[in-house]
Amino acid sequence: MSIRHFLSMMDYTPDELKGLVRRGMELKDLRRRGELVQPLKGRILGMIFEKASTRTRVSFEAGMIQLGGQAIFLSPRDTQLGRGEPIGDSARVLSSMLDAVMIRTFAHQTLLDFAAHSRVPVINGLSDDLHPCQLLADMQTFAEHRGSIAGKTAAWIGDGNNMCNSYIEAAIQFGFHLNVACPPGYEPDERLMARAGDCVRVTHDPRDAVAGAHLVTTDVWASMGQEKEASERLALFKPYQVNRALLDAAASDVIFMHCLPAHRGEEISEDLLDDSRSVAWDQAENRLHAQKALLEMLVAPTHTA
């Protein structure tokens, strides 16, 4: 049987994704009740970070430990990856010693190349194109606060970036409608848009995008790797700030999410994370629970003799 990876939301069926969300909720409840779930004793996750991270690193590392296993942090600065060892060679070697590998990288192709040479599951911890782990947490957060997202409307405001692309994949897989409001020239991936068909609509007007929306979400205007464009983007994206007035124009039961880190005063107003409609802290915590469900599914459990 071929190895299953998690490089994109499209790697699993809608039922599998819904099952992961349900399991994430169960694991959260079990942790609250102090019950140990440790199927991954002796298992090791390697975590390659070519970009900075707080949530992804800590949630994967804590998640593996809670499941009974361990995680190893690998930075290209301290490994031969940073000195040009081919990705395929690294994949062969690392996957002979580890039980799964999580990678946060720039080019999505790096993940594909690693996965092609890996004998263990590879997880996308964010690439320039996609951030599927965040979407597992976001879908869990919506389910906890509002129930099923199927048939609902979400609005993405800002850059058509990796997070926006993963929202498009989630809209396809979970059956919700997505309105994207971005400045001209900053639209999401064209192929994904074509695949999404009627699920996704792009506008350049944030108020149009949020009309009737049950979920409003945004992200930084300059992603990691785009630091040089930051000041140009700041001016261009100004009309796309999410603030209380914009949320007032959405559905009366709207909730607001941000994958974090947030830049207050830029993509969100200073006060937005304190608004009662924001569920961003729950969303951040759910990275832990949702990814534990993912690890439980992907990493072979320990066999006791």
Q: Which residues are annotated as a binding site for L-ornithine?
A: 162, 219, 223-224
- The question of whether 195 is a catalytic residue gets the answer no
Between 39 and 76, whose beta carbon lies closer to ligand NVA? 76
Instruction: Please give the backbone phi and psi of residue 120, each rounded to the nearest 5 degrees, phi first.
Output: -130, 160
Q: Choose among 101, 105, 103: nearest CA to 120.
A: 101
217 contributes a contact to ligand CP by CB under 6 A: no
Q: Which residues are annotated as a binding site for carbamoyl phosphate?
A: 53-56, 80, 104, 131-134, 259-260, 287
* 239 CB neighbour count, 10 Å cutoff: 12
Between 111 and 193, whose beta carbon lies closer to ligand CP? 111
161 contributes a contact to ligand NVA by CB under 6 A: yes
CB of 109 to ligand CP, least distance (A): 20
Q: Choose among 13, 9, 22: nearest CA to 286.
A: 22
CB of 126 to ligand CP, least distance (A): 6
Between 68 and 76, whose beta carbon lies closer to ligand NVA? 76
291 contributes a contact to ligand CP by CB under 6 A: no
Q: How far apart, in whole angstroms, are the C-alpha atoms of residue 276 and residue 250?
A: 14
Residue 220 interacting partner from ligand CP, ligand NVA, none (CB closer than 5 to 8 Å by kind): ligand NVA
283 contributes a contact to ligand NVA by CB under 6 A: no
CB of 219 to ligand NVA, least distance (A): 5
Q: How far apart, in whole angstroms, are the C-alpha atoms of residue 108 and residue 129?
A: 6
Site for ligand CP in 43-62 (CB under 6 A): 53-56
Q: How far apart, in whole angstroms, are the C-alpha atoms of residue 294 and residue 249?
A: 35
Half-sphere exposure of 200 (CA within 13 A, CB side): 29
Q: Do β-strands 153-157 and 215-218 pair in parallel, antiparallel, or remain unpaired?
A: parallel
260 contributes a contact to ligand CP by CB under 6 A: yes
